[in-house]
Amino acid sequence: MLKEEYLVTEQCFITELHNTPDDPDLSVARARVLPGVTTNWHSLTGLTEAYLILEGSGMMETGDLPPRVTRVGDVVNIPPGIRQRITNDGPLDLIFLAICTPRFTPESYNDLM
């Protein structure tokens, strides 16, 4: 069954692939960022997030580190509470899996605009 994609205030499109109270240890979402778009600064309380880049390219920013180039196959680990954002620096959509442990809930999201 194909899940529905929706736009979030963070400036990217999300498709929840796996996020259920029956599996509180893990969630997986497909994120899509349009060319030229930078997602909003945000952090996640109490969970670790990893981005697995599937398509496109980007510039990842985490905490106070300098921006990092991300390409297909790269994995970016983001510890709990660390601010983050990503910019699609290519001509095609940037698509990645956002894998959260434990699972993502709306209460864990902190908008840092």
Residue found under tokens 């670790």: 48
Is residue 2 very low, low, confident or very high in pLDDT (cuts 50, 70, 90)?
Answer: low
Mean pLDDT over 71-99 rounds to 98
Percent over 90 (pLDDT), the chain: 96
Q: Could you report the per-residue pLDDT of 9-45, keeping only the tens digit for each?
A: 899 999 999 999 999 999 999 999 999 999 999 999 9
For every residue of the chain, which 3-state class applies, written as one string?
CCCCCEEECCCEEEEEEECCCCCCCCEEEEEEECCCCECCCEEECCCEEEEEEEECCEEEEECCCCCEEECCCCEEEECCCCCEEEEECCCCCEEEEEEEECCCCHHHEEECC
Which domains, ranges and CATH numbers included, belong to the chain? Answer: 10-105 (2.60.120.10)
